Amino acid sequence: MKIEVIGGGLAGSEAAYTLANGGYKVELYDIKPKKFTPAHTSENLCELVCSNSLKGADPFSNACGLLKAEMKILGSLTMEAAENTRVPAGGALAVDRDEFSAYVTEKLQRHPNITIISKEVKEVPQSPSIIATGPLTTDSLFNSISAICGGQLHFFDASAPIVSRDSIDFDHCFFGDRYGKGGDDYLNCPMTREEYDLFVTELLNAQRATLHSFEKREIFEGCMPVEVMAERGRDSLRFAMLKPVGLKDEEGKRYYAVLQLRKENAAGTAYNLVGFQTNLKFAEQKRVFSMIPALRNAEFLRYGVMHRNTYLDSPKCLNADFSLKSDPLIFFAGQMTGVEGYVESAASGILAAINLMQKLKNRDAAIPPATTVLGALSAHISTFSDNFQPMNANFGILAPLEREVRDKRERYRLLAERALRDMEEYKKSL
């Protein structure tokens, strides 16, 4: 039996790989390399756009790290690729973006059960199929989806600039991770109070790029543009991406505000401005961000951009297994379902594929328990809400422990241990 998977991002790649390993013939459709969305530049599949970081790696202190561990149990391709293309990033899992997408693309190209087709799919395909076209689904396909699902929501997503390592002023920065954890994976760019105040003033006055096709400005908290964050108060950045807590230089000196830079590739020739998602005009990004002393001569390899992320009102149209209520052999996966983040999107692709195979074998849906992050995300996208919003992996969405544990570290550890046990049992049940 042939199954169509539409979209070659993280969710689509995971879905295709899971189905192919299950013995099914898969046709994986993606518009690249014939066409590109506004956010993509690489011809490879599974391209990371917003950041090279896949967030925290420790499953016992970070919910996204726990989700990664759950995905490894389920045989995740993206987690395999991440481990093989990893770059230093302290407690986070960061990758060389080009190597990461190349790794996934090669694995999919070589799989005997997968055929990759470069073509724009303009209408919802016939079942069985999985639609994982992401937040920048082409207008024609999204109109077709909307006709079936009814209505749509959207928010705005912003990515951070990247600068050349050779252009950074190392006399005004220092290596080191917050609280000394994880080695020297971050480059810290400090500011005095006077420098910070001037920076914020110019940031607030800077010109922003016009969003011609969008009237609303619903900005998801997880990718808040730095200029929007600054509008919440002059000290708001010092409690967010410019937080100086836990950072001090070799002489033990502390600073008023600190911007962290993280390696963008394995060679360390490019650095990402951590948390500096932005919608400023390119010239304004150069002018304002260069006010940070370490970046006074910075060469910007890529400026930040802002784009629309579109997602469904999933509780109204999707089941907990990510299938369409009106056609249970058509599945959706990825950010358009209301899971937010690279890892979360990839995980939804695995779960959609597992459940499509379940239905093709005339078996009941197989949803991980709500004690797991993946199961809790499944519950989120299928639970009715008056104000449905995208959801990241977090410990707060997990089913509570049977007893109250006040110590947060201990509570997270117990939640993670339970989740991993339950995910192992879930895998056995398949």
Residue 43 DSSP symbol? S
> What CATH number did the domain enclosing 67 receive?
3.50.50.60
Residue 387 has pLDDT above 70, yes or no: yes
Q: How many domains does the chain have?
A: 2
Instruction: Specify whether 271 is located in the same domain as 395.
Output: no
Instruction: Specify whether 120 is located in the same domain as 204.
Output: no
Instruction: Specify whether 147 is located in the same domain as 14.
Output: yes
End-to-end CA distance of the chain: 20
Q: How confident is the model at residue 138 (pLDDT cuts 50, 70, 90)?
A: confident
Q: How confident is the model at residue 214 (pLDDT cuts 50, 70, 90)?
A: very low
Distance, in Å, from the CA atom of 160 to the CA atom of 305, rounded to the nearest integer, reads 7
The pTM score is 0.81
Distance, in Å, from the CA atom of 304 to the CA atom of 25, rounded to the nearest integer, reads 39
Residue 313 has pLDDT above 70, yes or no: yes
pLDDT digits (tens, 9 = 90+) for 147-197: 888 766 666 667 789 999 989 999 999 998 887 775 677 999 999 999 999
Q: Which pLDDT belongs to residue 213?
A: 47
pLDDT digits (tens, 9 = 90+) for 60-80: 999 999 999 999 999 999 999
Residue 334 DSSP symbol? S
Closest to 352 (Cα-Cα) out of 122, 3, 18? 18
Domain stops at, among 263, 282, 308: 308
Instruction: Specify whether 9 is located in the same domain as 148.
Output: yes
Structure tokens at 222: 């997880």
pLDDT digits (tens, 9 = 90+) for 258-273: 999 998 877 788 899 9
Q: Which pLDDT belongs to residue 215?
A: 33
Residue 21 has pLDDT above 80, yes or no: yes
Residue 218 DSSP symbol? -
Closest to 27 (Cα-Cα) out of 118, 161, 152, 140? 118
Instruction: Specify whether 70 is located in the same domain as 98.
Output: yes
> What CATH number did the domain enclosing 265 receive?
2.40.30
- Structural domain includes residue 170: yes
Q: Are 155 and 306 in contact (CB under 8 A)?
A: no
Give the DSSP per-residue string, 142-195: HHHHHHHH---EEEEEE---EEEGGGS-GGG-EE--GGGTTSS-EEEEEE-HHH
Residue 280 DSSP symbol? B
Q: Are 152 and 26 in contact (CB under 8 A)?
A: no
Residue 328: give the domain boundaries: 2-152+312-429
Q: How confident is the model at residue 34 (pLDDT cuts 50, 70, 90)?
A: confident
Instruction: Specify whether 270 is located in the same domain as 172.
Output: yes
Instruction: Specify whether 298 is located in the same domain as 319.
Output: no
Distance, in Å, from the CA atom of 276 to the CA atom of 303, rounded to the nearest integer, reads 10
- Structural domain includes residue 235: yes
Q: How confident is the model at residue 43 (pLDDT cuts 50, 70, 90)?
A: confident
Q: Are 285 and 227 in contact (CB under 8 A)?
A: no
Residue with tokens 């849906």: 365
- Structural domain includes residue 341: yes
Structure tokens at 360: 């093709």
**3-state DSSP call for residue 109?**
helix
Domain stops at, among 241, 274, 308: 308
Q: Which amino acid is at 361?
A: K
Domain stops at, among 281, 308, 335: 308
Distance, in Å, from the CA atom of 378 to the CA atom of 314, rounded to the nearest integer, reads 10
Instruction: Specify whether 295 is located in the same domain as 336.
Output: no
Structure tokens at 41: 């530049």
Instruction: Specify whether 374 is located in the same domain as 239.
Output: no
Work out the average pLDDT over 47-72.
90
Among 1-10, 40-49, 128-137, 292-301, where is mean pLDDT lowest? 40-49
Cα-based torsion angle of the residue sequence 405, 409, 414, 416 in order, rounded to the nearest 10 degrees: 140
Instruction: Specify whether 166 is located in the same domain as 288.
Output: yes
Instruction: Specify whether 349 is located in the same domain as 245.
Output: no
- Structural domain includes residue 157: no
Q: Which pLDDT belongs to residue 222?
A: 62
Instruction: Specify whether 178 is located in the same domain as 281.
Output: yes
- Structural domain includes residue 28: yes
